[in-house]
Amino acid sequence: MLQLRREDRGEFLADLREILESQAKERRGAPIAAFELVRALKPPWNVFTTTYDCELERFLDSAGLPYVIVCHVLESTSGDAGKVMVVRSRHHPRAGDPAHAVVLRETTELTLELDPDDCVVYKLLGSPFLHDSELARSRGLDTVVITESDHITFLSRMADQKTTIPNHFAVPLTTSRLLFLGYNLDIWHYRLIGRVFRRVQGPSQLPRARKKPFVVREPISPLEEQFWRHFQVEMVNLELSTLVRALRRPPS
């Protein structure tokens, strides 16, 4: 609805950014269990996030942890649509080199771009905060997938080997178990992206795809619970903070 009142995409993204910053200020200081869980992970790891803010990244920065952000370029004024943008955090050992701090790559080139020990935050739906770099501004990059037309564009590219989910993420999805944390299937576009995860995991008859994903969440409605059953997940019906405390408890 916000973009319907804004003819200019730039104005829309500026408004979105202002809303996200306001929401972040309201939450500032409140501990977020998922962030603590990520910080405790043993590197290297891959974390998929579908939020438009960069609160996880700020948390990792405050902890002095190096990581790499990967996101898709939805649109570009310089012919880069469909590529991925790679952004190294300020604590990353290669962040000081302008040639590596922020780069654009074809999705097929991503594995060669990343180091074996990189911790990667894959921002599947992008963020307006990722448009601040000189590279993003000079090439008119837009990474935000939020409107219906954005999702149509994004999902249509999933069928193309050159613009689909990079193998760096697709391969682990076919061999490991995906853990959904606080993912709300009552939101229509989250259901669409959830289908992307399931499709990448492969047809259910393949042995490698028989590992059902876990979801840690208390569904807010019977409808959402039905959606999760359709996704064939194993649901851990408890608060995320409770799970994190249990996982971080020293063995007795």
Q: What is the pLDDT of residues 27-72, one digit of tens each?
A: 776 668 889 889 989 999 999 999 999 999 999 999 999 999 999 9
pLDDT level of residue 1 (50, 70, 90 thresholds)? very low
pLDDT level of residue 205 (50, 70, 90 thresholds)? very low
What are the structure tokens assigned to 236, written together? 């851990």
pTM of the predicted model over 0.85: yes
What is the torsional sign of CA 189, 14, 73, 171? negative
Task: Output phi, psi for 229, to 5 deg.
Answer: -60, -35
Inform me whether the pLDDT recorded for 16 exceeds 60.
yes
Q: Contact 152/158 with Cβ under 8 angstroms?
A: no
Inform me whether the pLDDT recorded for 5 exceeds 60.
no
Condensed to tens digits (0 to 9), the pLDDT of residues 105-156 reads 999 999 999 999 999 999 999 999 999 999 999 999 999 999 999 999 999 9
State how far the Cα of 25 lies from the Cα of 14, in Å rounded to an integer: 17
Inform me whether the pLDDT recorded for 201 exceeds 90.
no
Q: Contact 126/143 with Cβ under 8 angstroms?
A: yes
Q: Contact 17/128 with Cβ under 8 angstroms?
A: yes
What pLDDT does residue 244 have? 74
Task: Output phi, psi for 85, to 5 deg.
Answer: -100, 135
What is the torsional sign of CA 149, 232, 55, 19? positive
